[in-house]
Structure 1
Amino acid sequence: MSKLRLAVILNPHSNRQRAAQQAPHIMAMLRHFGLEASLFKTTHVGHATSLAQQCVAEGRWDGIIAAGGDGTINEIVNGMAGSQLPLSFVPLGTGNDFVKMLKLPSNSIVEAIRSIANNQLRQIDLGMINQHWFINGVGIGLDANVAIEAQKLKRIKGGLVYIIAVLKSILRYEARDLLIETDDLTLQQRINMATVGNGGYHGGGFWVTPAAKIDDGLLDVCLTGEQSRWSMVRDSTRVRQGSHGNLPSVTMLKTRTFKLYSERGVPVHVDGEVFSANLNEISISIQPAALTIRV
């Protein structure tokens, strides 16, 4: 059997610039497991998308490895969605929510590459928001404000970034009046947070949409109504554990489409990266079996 030829797209800026130090180790481990790989480092925002498009167009690769965080994965997905090229993961980010959801090794490069070498292929769904692909989820309102606050915490390392960002957002964010339409209902409500998930983990390990499956052709939605700040702090532990579904302020549902309208506008993140600080209209849909992954 010939060796798999893999293109490694690495974001050297992932995890506060520390990902760049891992490149030699990654390439050595790929060789150790009998994989033939070439390294491509990103240099600017959007570069991973163009590199993935290039790999698809060349037709000489057996797959792409995303070496970075959730944002890097998102960029690569936007360059290869709909192709037959499988995507694999070497997680180097701060949150690594999507990889955790897959129950893949999230803190061991060796185990991540061992998983790739096993060469097990799986088709998964992708979501689309306003003509932009996502693999894990969309956060609207408080959830997105957490991503905005996390961007500001340049000097803090690891998961502590998200905990601080959550607390700051709880203290500062104001709920919005939203009109929401899904397959089965229309509701107008004052909402603190809306999470639309293909995967289940969001915001650095919060199990916001715990019933989500990446191959069921459905989006999982968690809506949180307006609450006092104390209630939000108190309930955050439940959200982290995924046991918040029966809280009075929470609505959980499944749908193929999700539309949102806000006169004031809402902040939005996509796969953990700030998508917009203020959107008035959002249209989200699920695209079944749109991506092949090698895990």
Structure 2
Amino acid sequence: MEISHIAFLINPFCSKRTKSYALWVEEQVALRTLGALRLDLFFQEWPSSLEGFDQIWVLGGDGTYNFFANAYPNCQIPIAFFKGGTGNDFYWKLYGDISQEAHLNIIISKRIQAVDAGMCNGQLFLNGVGMGLEGEVLESMNAIRAIGGLIGYFLAAIPQIFTFRSFLIRLSLGSEWIERRVFLCMVFNSSRAGGGFHFVPNASIWDNQLDLLLCEPLSIFKRIWYLPKIQQGKHEHISFLHFQQAKQVTILSEKKLKAQIDGELIVSNRFEFHVLPGHFQVIVP
């Protein structure tokens, strides 16, 4: 019997609940595959090399997935993602809202598809990058990270909605430059962030494109009124929002901007983006 050797990489800072989930997966795999899959669990230090493994399973949230992508940027081994974070937006894009049992059935079935990634200032991302407001919200969320998810995002975002000021950027999608003042500026590979905000509802992780979202300066009333619509993904035809696809994007700002990249904070006044088509091999439904 051919045995597949799997590295099961678990968020080193996982909760007891997430650790229990990892052990449940180990138990279920042993029962369902009768030893055909061999799991090596890594709770603390991850391996320096993935050589010798046939699959990689990653358990965590968007931040854990981002850490994995940048720790093993050239990984061509099939990857499966398991939900174990506060946001879980990239997991949702791949698998939707399904039970742990149904998800494990998908992973064991081993259907593999190439998935795009993005690059920003030399750092890989799977979901997307939000500059300005998104960076400020993330910094606020760090103080309430235990809450997490959509509720945590709302609690962090609401004060920023009242106080955040629009900012001036220079933008290039190729050779021409445009200058705009914006309230939101995002470049996405996937469609969702913030634990359930559908910022770019039609974005695909299989189309070899990045998706740009710009929002014009807004009054406080409009910010409050339209936030729920953006959360639900019902905002694509609103006149002050602008969507565009590109394979590469450059964004400049006179002042340094805080930005979130898959839930991790970075600061810069220059953001260079490009898409990496079909960069990772992922086990999908």
| TM-score using structure 2 length | 0.91
- Structure 1 residues 239 and 28 mapped into 2: Cα distance closer, same or farther (>3 Å)? same
Consecutive unaligned residues in structure 1, runs of 5 or more: none
Amino acid at match of 1:232: R
Counterpart of 1:6 in structure 2: which amino acid?
Answer: I
Do residues 63 (structure 1) and 94 (structure 2) align?
no
Distance 2:29 2:164 in 1: 44
Partner of 2:152: 161
Question: 1:171 aligned to 149, 157, 162, which one?
Answer: 162
Tell me the residue number matched to 2:247. 256
2:227 to 236, 245, 250: 236
What is the number of equivalent residue pairs in this alignment?
Answer: 281
Residue in 1 that maps onto 2:180: 189
Match of 1:199 among 165, 187, 190: 190
**Map of 2:171 onto structure 1:** 180
Residue identity over aligned pairs, in percent, reads 26
Q: 1:12 Cα shift? A: 4.3
**Taking structure 1 as reference, are residues 204 and 76 closer, same or farther at Cα in structure 2, changes over 3 Å only?**
same
- Residue 252 to residue 17, structure 1, CA distance change in 2 (3 Å): farther
Change (3 A) 1:105 1:32: farther
Q: Secondary structure at the match of 1:33?
A: helix
Cα distance between partner residues in 1 of 2:55 and 2:38: 11
2:79 counterpart residue number: 87
- 1:223 is the counterpart of 2:214: yes
Return the alpha-carbon distance in structure 1 between the equivalents of residues 126 and 189 of structure 2: 7
Residue number in structure 1 paired with 2:42: 40
Measured after TM superposition, the shift of residue 93 of structure 1 is 0.7
User: Is the CA contact (8 Å cut-off) linking 1:52 and 1:64 kept in structure 2?
Assistant: no
SS in 2 for 1:85: coil
Deviation at 1:2, TM superposition (A): 1.8
Query: Secondary structure in 2 aligned to 1:207?
Result: coil
Cα offset for 1:158? Answer: 4.2
Which 10-residue stretch deviates more, 175-184 or 262-271?
175-184
2:49 to 41, 45, 54: 54
The equivalent of 2:130 in structure 1 is 139
Q: Which residue of 2 aligns with 1:283?
A: 272
Matched residue, 1:2 = 2
3-state SS of the aligned residue for 2:172? strand
Matched with 2:25 is 26
- TM-superposed deviation, 1:53: 4.8
Structure 2: distance between partners of 1:108 and 1:68: 16
* Paired residue secondary structure (2:183): strand
Q: Distance in 2 between matches of 1:248 and 1:111?
A: 40
CA contact (8 A) 1:146 1:203 kept: no
Where structure 2 has 5 or more consecutive residues not aligned to the other structure, the ranges are: none
Does the 8 Å CA contact 2:150/2:194 hold for their aligned counterparts? no
State the one-letter code of the partner of 1:54. S
**Contact 1:180/1:261, CA 8 A, preserved across alignment:** yes
Letter in 1 for 2:113: R
Change (3 A) 1:180 1:112: same
Conservation of the 8 A alpha-carbon contact between 1:211 and 1:220: no
SS of 1:167's partner is: helix
* Aligned residues: CA RMSD: 1.9
The answer to whether residue 16 in structure 2 is matched with residue 13 in structure 1 is no
CA contact (8 A) 2:131 2:257 kept: yes
Tell me, in whole angstroms, the C-alpha distance in 2 between the residues paired with 1:21 and 1:179. 48
1:1-29 CA-partner distances (Å, limit 9, x unpaired): 52322111101424x66423433222212
Tell me the TM-score normalised to structure 1 length.
0.89
Q: Confirm or deny: 8 A CA contact 1:12 1:18 kept in the other structure.
A: no
